[in-house]
Amino acid sequence: MADLAAASGTSKARLYHYYESKEAILFDLLDRYTKRLMLIIAEVEGASQRRGLTERDAFAELIRAFLSEYETSHSRHVALLNDVKYLVEAQREIILNRQRDVVAAFARQLARAYPERVNRENQTALTMMVFGMINWTFTWLKPGGRMGYQEFAEQVVEMVDHGLLKSKAAGADRN
């Protein structure tokens, strides 16, 4: 708490006035962050419908929106990936269920965007493949670096689009 207070420019007493423990701070941070991710999904879906985007373009917008959020959410994102285990069970379940909701929303949008390639058997694997591309950017993609988040988002969209546009028959020709 002393380190957090110092980093926040406040006192431990002030932090304890609002939060009973560092775990309470962690839950508040993760609760707000996962709600923010769910809001991004809803905003992208709504805006995509209003703009008349195709399902494929809507999925691309979802990838762009998440990477835009990740650019400014390094510490929250790292905490979400690594620190949920420190929450009490009831709080942990809230956060884990919200994470599952985020994954389910991505899976639904991916299936709508690529119905000819995504099915019940591969939907989870393909969804997690997309998350594998975007969730770990905090380890190597730095703001102001050689590649920006927007540029990387376009690379991911292109990779998904070209990888999923190929038919199974075309893939067999390569063997």
pLDDT in tens, 92-135: 999 999 999 999 999 999 999 999 999 999 999 999 999 999 99
Instruction: Supply the pTM of this predicted model.
Output: 0.86
DSSP at 9: T
pLDDT in tens, 132-169: 999 999 899 988 889 999 999 999 999 999 986 665 55
Q: Collapsing DSSP states into helix, strand and coil, what is residue 147?
A: coil
- Report yes or no: 149 and 157 within 8 Å, Cβ to Cβ: no
Look up tokens 């998350």; give the residue. Answer: 131
d(CA 98, CA 104): 10
Q: Tell me, what CATH number does 150's domain have?
A: 1.10.357.10
* Domain-embedded: residue 41: yes
* Domain-embedded: residue 104: yes
- Asked if pLDDT for residue 59 goes beyond 70, the answer is yes
* Domain-embedded: residue 139: yes
d(CA 84, CA 92): 6
The H-assigned helical ranges of 114-167 are 123-134, 149-165
Q: What is the domain range of residue 97? A: 22-165
pLDDT in tens, 71-86: 999 999 999 999 999 9
Sign of CA dihedral 163, 167, 169, 170: negative
* Domain-embedded: residue 58: yes
pLDDT at 5 (0 to 100):
67
Question: What is the count of structural domains for the chain?
Answer: 1
Report the pLDDT averaged over residues 19-37: 93
pLDDT in tens, 15-27: 777 888 889 999 9
